[in-house]
Amino acid sequence: MHENETGLKEHHQFRDFLYWNAVAAVPVVSASLAIIRISILWFVMYLIVCIACLLILYKFYCSHCPHYIYGGHLMRCMFFWGVPKIFAPRPGPLSLAEKTLSIAAPSVAILFPLYWLIGEPGLLLIFLLSVFILVATARRYECRRCVYFECPANCVPKEIRKRSLED
Ligand code: SF4
């Protein structure tokens, strides 16, 4: 694990990427199963919504992240590995519009499949629990040691941020 002397996680490893994508796959698979049983067309629409959500986050949220700004042309982070950095990096704070898009996009991807999941109580429970575990685990283990200080969810203590920025 690549933590610096302040305990911040400066680099992710491939196994981090595998872990976080496996966790993120559970709600997507449970939602897909609920939709595809009813309509292939809406399943394709759901995949398009998920891809659009990722692209919006990649352009307006990830482009402010140190894991995007620094390092080579290919991503090496907890969610993206080997993906080219197709958008220009944007060091510094997110604008209000970017913050709004960064919250709205994943919200749409979470709310969209609920129409079909309501008809499948078992899959709905798995979906809701897995979304909760994804967010709670990231909050519990990543946000408090993440170098992306501009992220609205970052909860690295002020004194550690200060020391890290002074280094
Ligand atoms: S660590 Fe998070 S915010 Fe940073 S580039 Fe990866 S997915 Fe985006």
Per-residue pLDDT of the chain (167 residues; tens, 9 = 90+): 456 677 899 999 999 999 999 999 999 999 999 999 999 999 999 999 999 999 999 999 999 999 999 988 999 999 999 999 999 999 999 999 999 999 999 999 999 999 999 999 999 999 999 999 999 999 999 999 999 999 999 999 999 998 888 77
Distance 132 CA to ligand 1 centre (A): 19
- Protein residue with least CA distance to atom 7, ligand 1: 79
Contact yes or no for 9/147 (Cβ under 8 A): yes
Q: Is the CB of 80 under 6 A from ligand 1?
A: yes
Distance 68 CA to ligand 1 centre (A): 7
> What is the greatest pairwise CA distance in the chain?
56
- Number of CB atoms found within 10 A of residue 157's CB: 11
pTM: 0.90
Q: Provide the token pair at 123.
A: 């899959």
Question: What whole-number distance in Å separates Cα of residue 28 and Cα of residue 117?
Answer: 11
Regarding the beta carbon of 78 and ligand 1, being less than 6 Å apart is answered: yes
Give me 125's structure tokens: 């429970």
The single-letter DSSP state of residue 1 is -
